[in-house]
Chain A
Amino acid sequence: MQSFTVHTGIVAALPRDNVDTDQIIPKQFLKRIERTGYGDVLFFDWRYDRDGKPEPGFPLNAPQYSDATILLAGKNFGCGSSREHAVWALRDYGFRAIIAPSFADIFANNCVKNGVLTVVLPPAEIAQLLSRDAAGLNRLKIDLEQCQVSWNGGFQARFEIDPFSRTCLLEGLDEIGATLKREAEIAKYERRRRNAPAQISN
């Protein structure tokens, strides 16, 4: 997994609440068996018109956002389906971090597994970022070691993140490898639970 320490980039604002994973990536793109190649279909139904041309009104199609790597979103971003394809699409498009007032649980979890940082900021600071965006100030630095979002003294905010997610991101941890190292404890647990009442009787 790609690690995340410090990232500086352009912020694209999509200030809509409750953006669900069906909007992030519609179902017709879930039929592939690969983990990459989803960037072009990110926000498909919002981003393109019926003829497949970019929808001029959709924020991500605005020229100032063409190299965006940070998404500024509304509350409860990523609600709905558990499809990790939603994170793969954001990552493949180029997003390294998403800033929002809140995230849906499974989506946030999926982000960590793919080296995408989710930053929760209170609504007041989100509003500040939105007004900076309206004024054409759309660059930010996100420092995961310091847990800080900032830009040249013009903006500064601290954020909280669960310590384990932070370590996974900072180190680009192979979580499966780490759990496999606990084999002795897992095997011991299985022996202890052999007579548990809930059993699949084959």
Chain B
Amino acid sequence: MIARTLFDKIWDRHVVCKGPEGSSILYIDLHLVHEVTSPQAFEGLRQAKRKVRRPDLTFATLDHNIPTTGNRMVLEDALARTQVEALRKNCREFGVPLFDLDAPEQGIVHVIGPELGLTQPEMTIVCGDSHTSTHGAFGALAFGIGTSEVEHVLATQCLVQKKPKSMLVRFTGAAGSGVTAKDMILALIAQIGIDGATGHVIEYAGEAIRALSMEARMTVCNMSIEGGARTGMIAPDQTTFAYLKGRRFAPQGEAWERAMKQWATLKSDPGAKFDATVDINAAQIAPFVTWGTNPGMAAPVTGEVPDPDGGANDSERSSIARALEYMGLNPHTRIEDIAVDRVFIGSCTNARLEDIRSAARVVKGYKISRSVQGMIVPGSQQVKRAAEKEGLHRIFTEAGFEWRESGCSMCLGMNADRLKPGERCASTSNRNFEGRQGAGGRTHLVSPAMAAAAAVAGRFVDVRNWHYKD
């Protein structure tokens, strides 16, 4: 038998039939829906008099444009309200379950899928959001789609796809203390570039990946798209099963035993062929900080802002110069000399319980700098409750942070949580594009621990040297 990759196995199992001209009709096991990329899809169904084929495999939540303060059932932003009400109406009309703003399950779509046990190994999962790759951490094939494809999946539970190429990324060695999954993925993107994996599905492997918790694996897979990849995935193992067991929508009892037996076989065969392979030594990775306007423009915290003259070609030199101008940074500035005005801990990349705990551990016993406004936005109501049960919210509020309700918030600034022009932010989110967190805002991507340390110090510091007061 031909040796197959994990990706091949999941792909093969979901091919309904050959599609036209070398494409395949791929079955989708789970479709996650949110308010921003779905209204036009539902409207398309309505106009064509089509139904949602499998409302039982479709789940909706509100996360992108909603407020993170106050009474959230009353939306002051009229446009956001229209979109929220459209999703409610669409879910009612088409029979799709919705985790509304007052539901205990509400949260960022990529945080709640896993925590509810909806996300399972071997599944195909799609959502009208590029960070759907997060779910690949469970050994699922999970990728982002546009609104036309959202409509296609709603109507047919299938997608017509051309099979992407495969890439193996091996993290060898062990990551040092204070170096997190966020630093690993930022280091990889800095190495391969933001289009380094375009057209590929990445499988992450190696001892440094195996050593990661489920939540940390989600952080790695989440940012696959920032390296251009179609998605990322990690073969399931005991860590995966231990995380999933007993979760609400996961198989139970005898079905669970059967599922685990099958999932244990989900790995790339020895000798399986990948179209590309990248090796990266986790032991050499330091905490990373982005200095520019895309996630590949990053440096170790011990490093400095680059000089455009050092660019490999004209295009790179002008990209660096343009980025530095937007970011208000001079070449050769030490990363640790960059002062911040805002700190945002949140997003589908880094707003799960372990992220909140890791930030709290840094903050404990400290006050945040007077010049910094800090904000913690848990990824879901479940994360928020769990953190509060551990008293973490008090550590943050006593230090001077705001403790908010769950949502996408300042990762993309669709709600009121935005940077002002010129404000500089240490952010645990996934994109530092121009204006991403607010027109004129300047974003530096970091891990939760690095963001917390920057809030206290008022500038970036190497969290590996932090004096913990616990």
- Set A17, A30, A106: member contacting B144, Cβ < 8 A: A106
CA distance A156 to B251 in the complex (A): 58
Docked Cα-Cα span, A202 to B22, in Å, equals 36
Contacts of A150 in B (CB 8 A): none
For the complex, give the distance between the alpha carbons of A120 and B228 in Å.
16
* CB pair A76 B146 closer than 8 Å: no
Given A84-B37, A179-B25, A186-B158, do A74 and B152 touch, yes or no (CB 8 Å)?
no
A31 touches B80 (CB 8 A): yes
Q: Smallest distance from the beta carbon of B310 to chain A beta carbons, Å?
A: 17
Query: For the complex, is B56 an interface residue (Cβ under 8 Å from A)?
Result: yes
CB distance from B143 to the nearest CB of A (A): 8
Interface SS, B side: loop
Is A82's CB under 8 angstroms from B146's CB?
yes
Q: How far is the CA of A178 from the CA of B230 in the complex (A)?
A: 24
Asked if A17 contacts B129 (CB within 8 A), the reply is no
Name the segment of A3-11, A21-29, A63-71, A138-146 touching the other chain.
A21-29
A35, CB-defined interface residue at 8 Å: yes
Best-surrounded residue of A74, A104, A105 (most CB of chain B within 10 A): A105
Q: A102–B16 contact, CB under 8 A?
A: no
Known: A23-B434, A109-B146. A31 touches B195 (CB 8 A): no
Task: State which residues 1-47 of A face B: CB under 8 Å.
Answer: 16-18, 20, 22-23, 26-28, 30-35, 45
Tell me whether A152 is interfacial, beta carbon within 8 Å.
Answer: no
By a CB distance below 8 angstroms, the chain B residues around A20 are 294, 431, 433
Q: B56, A22: Cβ atoms under 8 Å?
A: no
Once the chains bind, are A114 and B148 in contact (CB under 8 Å)?
Answer: yes
Q: Which residues of A contact B145 (CB under 8 A)?
A: 82, 106, 109
In the assembled complex, the Cα of A17 lies from the Cα of B434 at a distance in Å of: 14
The interface residues of chain B lying within 8 Å CB-to-CB of A33 are: 39-40, 43, 82-83, 86
Q: Which residues of B contact A182 (CB under 8 A)?
A: 16-17, 25, 158
Contact of B40 among A28, A34, A200 (CB under 8 A): A34
A84 to B40 CA separation, bound complex (whole angstroms): 10
Q: Is B319 a contact partner of A179 (Cβ separation < 8 A)?
A: no
Q: How far is the CA of A31 from the CA of B412 in the complex (A)?
A: 13
- The answer to whether B27 and A186 have CB atoms under 8 Å apart is yes
Is the CB of A198 closer than 8 A to any CB of chain B? yes
B103 within 8 A of A: no
Across the interface, do A109 and B249 meet the contact criterion of CB distance under 8 Å?
no
On chain B, the number of residues with a Cβ less than 8 Å from chain A's Cβ atoms is: 82
A18–B294 touching, CB < 8 Å: yes
Contact A35-B43, Cβ < 8 Å, known A113-B149, A185-B25: yes
- In the complex the two chains form, what is the Cα distance from A2 to B20 in whole Å? 20
Q: Tell me, yes or no, whether B29 is within 8 Å of chain A by CB.
A: yes
Q: Is B155 an interface residue (CB 8 A)?
A: yes
Closest Cβ of chain A to B383, distance in Å, is 21
Residue pair B160, A175 in contact (C-beta under 8 Å): yes
B-side contacts of A162, CB under 8 Å = 21-22, 162
Contact with A along B141-172 (1 / 0, CB 8 A): 00011111101100111101010100000000
- The yes or no answer to B258 lying at the interface (CB within 8 A) is yes
| Whole-angstrom CA separation of A27 from B413 in the bound complex | 7
Binds A, one of B115-123, B350-358, B363-371: B115-123
Please state if B122 and A201 are interface contacts (CB–CB under 8 Å). Answer: no
Instruction: Give the distance to chain A from B264, nearest Cβ to Cβ, in Å.
Output: 10
- The reply on B88 being an interface residue by CB < 8 A is no
Question: How far is B53's CA from A180's CA once the two chains are assembled, in angstroms?
Answer: 10
B74 at the interface (CB under 8 A from A): no
Alpha-carbon separation in the docked complex, A50 to B291 (Å): 25
- Check A176–B57 contact: CB distance below 8 A: no
If A22-B434, A176-B151, A197-B259 touch, whether A27 touches B158 (CB-CB below 8 Å) is no
Residue of B nearest to A20 (CB): B433
Min CB gap B234→A, angstroms: 16
Show 22 residue pairs from A and B whose CB-CB distance is below 8 angstroms, ordered by the A residue.
A18-B195, A22-B435, A30-B414, A31-B77, A31-B82, A33-B43, A33-B86, A34-B40, A35-B44, A76-B194, A76-B228, A104-B195, A106-B146, A114-B148, A167-B20, A176-B50, A197-B255, A197-B261, A198-B259, A199-B259, A200-B30, A201-B250
Question: What residues of chain A have their CB less than 8 Å away from a CB belonging to chain B?
Answer: 16-18, 20, 22-23, 26-28, 30-35, 45, 74-76, 79-84, 87, 102, 104-106, 109-110, 113-114, 162-164, 167, 175-176, 178-180, 182, 185-186, 189-190, 193, 196-202
Q: What 8 pairs between A and B have smallest CB-CB spacing?
A: A113-B148, A33-B39, A197-B259, A84-B146, A110-B146, A31-B79, A197-B262, A76-B195
